[in-house]
């Protein structure tokens, strides 16, 4: 796709989920951006490290995809490293906010590292930033929206309250019509172990599948679970469908 002079750069997109409750407050459209230079040991999404083109989309195409989803509270950008594409996001972020949607961003950078003009502009349209590298030795399963203790949650507007951090993390299972199940959110090691036992044949590990979702299982019970619905697992409550 050829860009005209002055147009926003294209976004390199890994994938998206139209509705998720596990990646920020309320039901959210979640966009995984492709490309991360930080390469944290134990990263949940190593398939998003490579900067090679995966799905190149214009800002307008991404915005139209988001706008087609009704009733969501906002958009979450994750990755990969969203701020590696700040020059495109500076065009997307205000459009998201102008639709009345909130914006949350997961970044591997600390807030004080985001000094470029483009990054600062994106931040002026952002409600919540979860910032900092994932550090495996600092892993904590009980911190809401964070994988490791060093990561910080910054509430940049008054739209949401830090009291939300007292709620438990959730893990979400999104089951496609073909039976492919995607796990998103913050699963504990115990839950991951349980999943690997239940779906051993198709389990993919972080080191085994650079170009595939980091944790994805083919659901053996696909006839029972067809329909593209998502099932939410709460650590101490309802279990999911299997
Ligand atoms: S910053 Fe995020 S996407 Fe990048 S390597 Fe670290 S955990 Fe993975």
d(CA 169, CA 165): 9
- For residue 59, give the CATH number of its domain: 3.20.20.70
Same domain for 136 and 36, yes or no, is yes
Residue 241 lies in a domain: no
Task: Say how far apart CA 189 and CA 239 lie, in whole Å.
Answer: 16
The answer to whether residue 6 is domain-embedded is no
Task: Please check whether residue 224 lies inside any domain of the structure.
Answer: yes
CB 192 within 8 A of CB 224: no
The alpha carbon dihedral of 74, 80, 83, 86 has a sign of negative
Asked, for residue 238, whether it belongs to a domain, the answer is no
pLDDT given at position 120: 98
Q: Is the CB–ligand 1 distance for residue 38 below 6 Å?
A: yes
Is-contact 77 105, C-beta < 8 A?
A: yes
Per the domain annotation, does 183 fall within a domain? yes
* Cα–ligand 1 centroid distance for 208 (angstroms): 17
Q: Are 184 and 191 in contact (CB under 8 A)?
A: no
Q: Is 82 in the pocket of ligand 1 (CB under 6 A)?
A: no
Domain boundary among 166, 189, 216: 166
My answer on whether 153 and 180 are in the same domain is: no
Any domain includes 133: yes
Structurally, the chain folds into a number of domains equal to: 2
132 lines ligand 1 (CB under 6 A): no
Residues 119 and 203 in one domain: no
User: Are residues 106 and 36 part of one domain?
Assistant: yes
Quick one: 14 exposed, middle or buried, by C-beta within 10 A (0-12, 13-18, 19+)? buried
Decide if 123 is inside a domain: yes
Domain that holds residue 226: 171-233
| Domain identity same for 56 and 115 | yes
Q: Give the torsion sign (CA, 29, 206, 220, 235).
A: negative
Indicate if ligand 1 lies below 6 Å from the C-beta of 36.
yes
Instruction: Indicate the pTM of the whole model.
Output: 0.85
Q: Do residue 42 and residue 157 come from a single domain?
A: yes
Q: Are residues 156 and 216 in the same domain?
A: no
Tell me the C-alpha distance between 48 and 65, whole Å.
20
Boundary residue ending a domain (142, 166, 190): 166
Pocket flag, ligand 1, residue 84 (CB < 6 Å): no
Q: Could you tell me if 64 and 138 lie in one domain?
A: yes
Indicate whether 116 and 207 sit together in one domain.
no
- 21 and 120 belong to one structural domain: yes
- Are both 158 and 41 inside the same structural domain? yes
Number of H helices and E strands in the chain, helices first, is 5, 11
Domain boundary residue, one of 166, 182, 206: 166
242 residues of the chain, pLDDT tens digit each: 556 666 889 999 999 999 888 899 999 999 999 999 999 998 988 889 999 999 999 999 999 999 999 999 999 999 999 999 999 999 999 999 999 999 999 999 999 999 999 999 999 999 999 999 999 999 988 899 999 999 999 999 999 999 999 988 888 877 666 666 677 888 777 777 777 666 654 433 332 333 334 455 555 444 344 445 555 655 444 344 44
Residue 35 and residue 121 in one domain: yes
């Amino acid at each position: 796709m050829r860009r005209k002079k002055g147009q926003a750069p294209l976004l390199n997109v890994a994938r998206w989920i139209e509705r998720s409750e596990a990646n920020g407050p309320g039901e959210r459209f979640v966009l995984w951006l492709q490309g991360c230079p930080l390469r944290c040991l134990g990263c949940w999404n190593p398939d998003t490290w490579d900067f090679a083109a995966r799905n190149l989309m214009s800002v307008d195409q991404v915005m139209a995809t988001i706008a087609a989803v009704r009733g969501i509270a906002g958009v979450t950008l994750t990755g990969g490293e969203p701020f590696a594409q700040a020059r495109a996001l500076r065009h997307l972020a205000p459009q998201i906010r102008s639709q009345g949607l909130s914006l949350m961003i997961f970044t591997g950078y600390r807030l004080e590292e985001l000094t470029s003009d483009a990054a600062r502009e994106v931040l002026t349209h952002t409600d919540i930033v979860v910032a900092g590298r994932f550090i495996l030795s600092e892993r904590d399963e009980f911190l809401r929206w964070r994988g490791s203790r060093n990561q910080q949650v910054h509430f940049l507007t008054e739209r949401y309250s830090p009291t939300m951090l007292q709620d438990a993390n959730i893990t979400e299972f999104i089951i496609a019509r073909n039976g492919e199940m995607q796990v998103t959110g913050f699963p504990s090691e115990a839950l991951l172990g349980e999943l690997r036992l239940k779906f051993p044949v198709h389990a993919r590990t972080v080191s085994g599948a650079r170009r595939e979702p980091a944790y994805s299982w083919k659901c053996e019970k696909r006839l029972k679970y067809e329909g593209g619905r998502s099932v939410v697992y709460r650590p101490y409550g309802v279990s999911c469908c299997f």
